Amino acid sequence: MTRSVSIVIWCIWAVLIAGLTVGSAPDHAAVFTRDAVASDHAAASQAGAEILAAGGNAADAAAATMLALGVVNPASSGLGGGGFALYYSAEDASLTFLDFRERAPRASTRTMFDREGPRPPGPANALSQLGGLAVGVPGEPAGIEALVQRFGRLSLDKVVAPALRLAEQGFVVSEALAAMGNVFEAQLREDPVMSTWNLEEGATLKRSSLARVLRAFAQKGAAVIYGGVIGQEMVAAVQRHGGIMTLDDLRAYRVRTRKPLEATAFGHRWVTAPPPSAGGFTMVQSLLILQEAVGEDPSYGPSLLHAMVESWKGPFLDRQRYFGDPDQVILPIARMLEASRIRRRADLVDDDRAHPASDYDMPIEWTRNQLATPDDAGTSHLCVVDGEGNVASVTTTVNLPFGARFTGGGIVLNDEMDDFASAVGAANAFELVGGARNLPGPWKRPVSTMSPTIVLSGEKPVLCIGASGGSRIVTATQQVAMNILLHDMQADEAVTAPRIHHQGFPETLRVETLAPLSSALLDALRERGHDIAPIHNVANVQAIEIEHAPTRMLHAVSDPRKGGRPAGH
């Protein structure tokens, strides 16, 4: 994709996906004593809370919330997408990461998007973003089933019930969904299902074709989507739109269980997403660099914000150079996080001036064998804490709004293929530049920024956190977590506080117009040489802070930037 096209899409995205208004959702924060759900839609949080009240645990409630999100905000996530779940089990203090990211159809090739041609009208219209080739094999149905079967205690049909009710009886179209529907209206009009939707804010929308899928999923599980009539309809729709996904691709889809990435920094244990996410890695490396550069107890102010921006530049370069599907390329994570390398990057951080990102580039020396292939080869975040202390941190996505902007088998299909590099050095919709290791290939998972995170103090989880919003997911997640854990902000204040974003390339520091930094902070950053540009908002964060003493308190916050609301007991 050319840079100018990418920037246009980024701007559309900045205004839409990443959020709409702040301060318009007075109920966006709440304190509970037993259990809590924070998602970016009130009805979805309520679905999770209903399941908790019915005896479900955090896994059941997270699955119910995901399913409900897919009904009430089809622009952001759903059964046609995929995601990551990080699960803390209180029984044995274990942390498990489920990767149900979409993967490329088997017939995918490195050059499948490396061509320019006539484009259909409307926004986000590259081959990897709109239409059949954009669709990765969905992982969400298998991911939800795995979460419930491995960690839940209710049957799938009970977990599906709240979402099914929303689909059958209808729900009120939110401000966020209405705004996204407005921008993509002409493209949605082309689809037989989405063209029937009234997406005006406040309208009641029923989703009868999705209700049919949910009923089948409740009874028979993911196999009905990966094998049966629904799968056949999905494949037929993808192929009709010029795609290459087959029934074999669907049947062969597998959830991967991975070891979460973790680091100790600022007195806490940060547990987060491993590859194929680069988000968790970016946060972990940034925290380690920051700790070296500013000490263990930094106060909020221009020096810290400046150092944070500098700390993001190196990890985003590592992402470009090294990241790909961990099942298909070896990732030198330990080498990239070596203490000496962290120290070298921290030593480069000058308090009085910004460095160009290239100053932080530190290639790793590898032998040919280390580079060899190993043998085996629109987004929403939610947090759940249950009464037993289990925690689920889940990020789920169809990538750009309404995914590839068509449905198959009644399901909105993702356009996750845009998270691959269309060519070496080409930028995606979020201006993330991809390297050779992230070119498309058979059954490959594209690199992600999604960073579902749980932070522990000693043995106890103290924060469940994550975000939606493309490349800004990780920088937003990190800032809010630091606000809570280092700067003693209340969870609500921490989420609503102004945020900044830098991803190495472009060499621009984005600051929110929705929640503006003070002019004193802006001046201090400008004086250090940062090229500052406005952005509507930096992602949407959901968080639950877990206070254990003197009384158990769950501070649940849904980012008002997207209009969500938490629920619980």
Per CB under 6 A, residues contacting ligand GLY are 379, 397, 399, 416, 419, 448-450, 470
Q: What is the bridge-based pairing of β-strands 567-568 and 94-100?
A: unpaired
Contact in structure between 157 and 215 (CB atoms under 8 Å): no
The tokens for 294 are 């500013």
Contact in structure between 559 and 542 (CB atoms under 8 Å): yes
Residue 468 C-beta: closest distance to ligand GLY, Å? 8
Residue 124 C-beta: closest distance to ligand GLY, Å? 12
* Pairwise CA distance, residues 418 & 430, whole Å: 10
- Give strand ranges (E) for 92-182: 94-100, 171-172
Q: Which strands sit side by side in the sheet containing 509-512, from one edge to the other?
A: 500-501, 509-512, 532-535
Nearest residue to ligand GLY, by Cβ distance, number only: 448
Residues 6+ apart with CB under 8 A from 480: 465, 467, 494, 495, 497, 499, 541, 543
Print burial letters for 378-398: b (CB count within 10 Å at least 16), e (below 16). bbbbbbbbbbebbbbbbbbbb
One-letter amino acid identity for 271?
V
Nearer to ligand GLY, 57 or 282 (CB): 282
Radius of gyration in angstroms for the set of CA atoms belonging to the chain, rounded to a whole number: 22
Nearer to ligand GLY, 291 or 448 (CB): 448
Contact in structure between 76 and 383 (CB atoms under 8 Å): no
Nearer to ligand GLY, 167 or 467 (CB): 467
The tokens for 38 are 């924070």
Nearer to ligand GLY, 61 or 450 (CB): 450
Nearer to ligand GLY, 271 or 417 (CB): 417
Give the three-state DSSP class for 156. helix
Residue 416 C-beta: closest distance to ligand GLY, Å? 6
Residue 288 C-beta: closest distance to ligand GLY, Å? 22
Residue 249 C-beta: closest distance to ligand GLY, Å? 19
Q: Is the backbone peptide bond immediately before 138 cis, with ω within 30 degrees of 0?
A: no
* Pairwise CA distance, residues 113 & 344, whole Å: 37
* Pairwise CA distance, residues 498 & 494, whole Å: 9
Nearer to ligand GLY, 51 or 134 (CB): 134
Residue 35 C-beta: closest distance to ligand GLY, Å? 28
* Pairwise CA distance, residues 56 & 568, whole Å: 13
* Pairwise CA distance, residues 308 & 170, whole Å: 44
* Residues taking part in catalysis: 379
Nearer to ligand GLY, 134 or 546 (CB): 134
Residue 474 C-beta: closest distance to ligand GLY, Å? 9
175: number of Cβ within 10 Å: 15
